[in-house]
Amino acid sequence: MSQETIFDKIINKEIPAEIVHEDELCLAFKDISPQAPTHVLLIPKERIATLCDLKDEHKELMGHLMIKSTEIAQKLGLHENGYRLVANCKDDGCQSVNHIHFHILGGRAMTWPPG
């Protein structure tokens, strides 16, 4: 397995995070450098480096993440006005941590392209 990431340390409770959801498959926590009034990161507990590394065996996990992203957005009060769900992939996609993660962004109108 590749080098341990900051997300591994958060999953293992080695460094603190403001957790908004946790279950057996995933963890969601507030981003320490928010790009919107609400900015939460949703990660699988299984480390998969990038979206390019997904395989058929990950279908159930990825479906779980999508369902949890909507539940978390609702819990955070983002359903009425909407929110953005973003996944970056590799260097050109601006992926900063080699562990698949989704940004749940809301609390203001989003612009395109993102800054």
Catalytic residue among 39, 79, 99, 101: 101
Q: Is 101 labeled as catalytic in the residue annotation?
A: yes
Q: What one-character-per-residue DSSP string does the chain give?
A: -----HHHHHHTTSS---EEEE-SSEEEEE-SS-SSSEEEEEEESS----GGG--GGGHHHHHHHHHHHHHHHHHTT-TTT-EEEE---TTTTT--SSS--EEEEESS---SS--
Residues involved in catalysis:
101
